[in-house]
Amino acid sequence: MTTERPYAGLKKLLATRRLTLTQRKKLWAYIFVALPFAYFLIVNISAMLNSFIFSFQDYMTISTERTWIGLDNYTSTLSNPIFHQALRNTLVFAAVRVPVVTVLGLGVALMLHNIRRAKGFFRMLYFIPFVTSGVAIAWVFKFLYLPNFGLFTHLFDALGLPRQYFLGDPRTALLSIIAVTIWASLGYYALIFLAGLEDIPVEFYEAAMVDGASAWQRFRNITLPLLNRTIVLVVILCMISSLQNFTFVRMMSKDGFGGPLNSTVTMSLLIYKEAFFSLRMGGASAIAVIFFAIIFVLTLVQRRLLVREFEY
């Protein structure tokens, strides 16, 4: 085994100091971990702290001057009707998407788990949107949703349903976007469920079958309780991704900023707009801090409410 050349000098230095093996190991550990740890401190931790600081300052991008203004950014944010709309839309987004994704994802996973052949093929079909960029998906669905000319209009006509303007109508715009995000992530969550299902020992089902339990009873009394951790995981992951959704609302809302009539404006879109179009970095940071607090609290609450410990 040859020595690593770039380290030769350092190694010699360490050797002359006559450190014990343990000391040497410790030293190397610090050397190896220094750069990655410093990276996380600078890029993530200090960015987060800076966001807190900016939120108490009057800070526009163009002017480099920053003055402390106390809670002004927070009070003006909380009295801004668009902020209320964004908060409501974001919560609706999660409240609609999470249950639908959880139920459909579990359904698809159960069927994928049960079928005997072509499992890999079907798994692949559902998972494909996960590797497709949100921008590409958004373009395709914008085309499908196109009023009057789009395929969905023709489909509604053929089914005898009233014509919809989908993304152009404040009443349906948000739901239309949510539907796309459900389509796009269903396979991903189904795959997480599938991994959970495969972890449940087959013996439990065999024992239940011997006792004459019906399919529903087996699902209700074995699958659901033992899948609890996976369900909690899916709910939390899906909730966080729903709250943070940016690509689809940015791409699919009428004007790119939550239109029509702010019916699709969300928290992340509002932060983006405040910071990079209204050029209010301080105001954007205040929204970001509130946003972070909401995600944090909701995640903790869900953990508390949903986790049931089962040993097996």
Partner 1 sequence: MRETNNPNRLWLRPGQIAQYGLLSIGGFIMIFPYLWMVSTSLKARGTWYNISLIPEQFSLEHYDRLLGTSLLPRWYLNTLVVALVATASVAFFSSLAGYVFAKYEFFGREFMFMIILATIMIPTEMMIVPWYVGIATIGWIDTLPGIMMPGMLSAFGVFVMRQFIANTPDELLDAGRIDGVSEFGLFWRICLPLARPALAVVVIFTFLGHWNDFLWPLIVVNSDNMQTLQVGLSRLSSLETGADWGGTMSGAALASIPMLVVFMFFQKQIVRGMKMSGLKG
Site for partner 1 in 170-189 (CB under 8 A): 183, 186-187
Residue with tokens 């230095």: 13
| List of E strands, the chain | 57-59, 66-68
CB of 169 to partner 1, least distance (A): 19
Q: Which of residues 211-240 bind partner 1 (CB under 8 A)?
A: 215, 218, 229-230, 232-233, 240
CB of 247 to partner 1, least distance (A): 5
Q: Which of residues 237-276 bind partner 1 (CB under 8 A)?
A: 240, 243-244, 246-247, 250-251, 267-268, 271-272, 275-276
CB of 233 to partner 1, least distance (A): 5
Q: Which of residues 47-106 bind partner 1 (CB under 8 A)?
A: 47-48, 50-51, 54
Of the candidates 153, 177, 151, 183, the residue with the CA atom closest to the CA atom of residue 165: 153
Query: Angle 81-114/228-243 helices, nearest 10 degrees?
Result: 140
Evaluate whether 228 touches 295 at the Cβ level (below 8 Å). Answer: no
**CA distance linking residue 207 with residue 223, whole number of Å:** 13
CB of 196 to partner 1, least distance (A): 6
Residue with tokens 């990079």: 276
Of the candidates 157, 153, 191, the residue with the CA atom closest to the CA atom of residue 172: 153
Write out the DSSP string of 255-278: TSSS-STTTT--HHHHHHHHHHTS
Binding pattern to partner 1, positions 291-310, x when CB under 8 A? xx--xx--x-----------
Record the tokens describing residue 131, joined without a space: 């590797």
Cβ-based nearer residue to partner 1, 38 or 171: 38
Binding pattern to partner 1, positions 4-33, x when CB under 8 A? x--x---x---------x--xxx-xxx-xx
**CA distance linking residue 243 with residue 268, whole number of Å:** 8
Q: Which stretch binds partner 1 (CB under 8 A): 73-81, 95-103, 146-154, 165-173?
A: 146-154
Cβ-based nearer residue to partner 1, 31 or 171: 31
Out of 98, 112, 174, 249, the only residue in the binding site for partner 1 (CB under 8 A) is: 112
Record the tokens describing residue 284, joined without a space: 């954007």
HSE-up of 50 (CA within 13 Å, CB side)?
A: 10
CB of 2 to partner 1, least distance (A): 9
Is residue 135 a contact point for partner 1 (CB under 8 A)?
yes
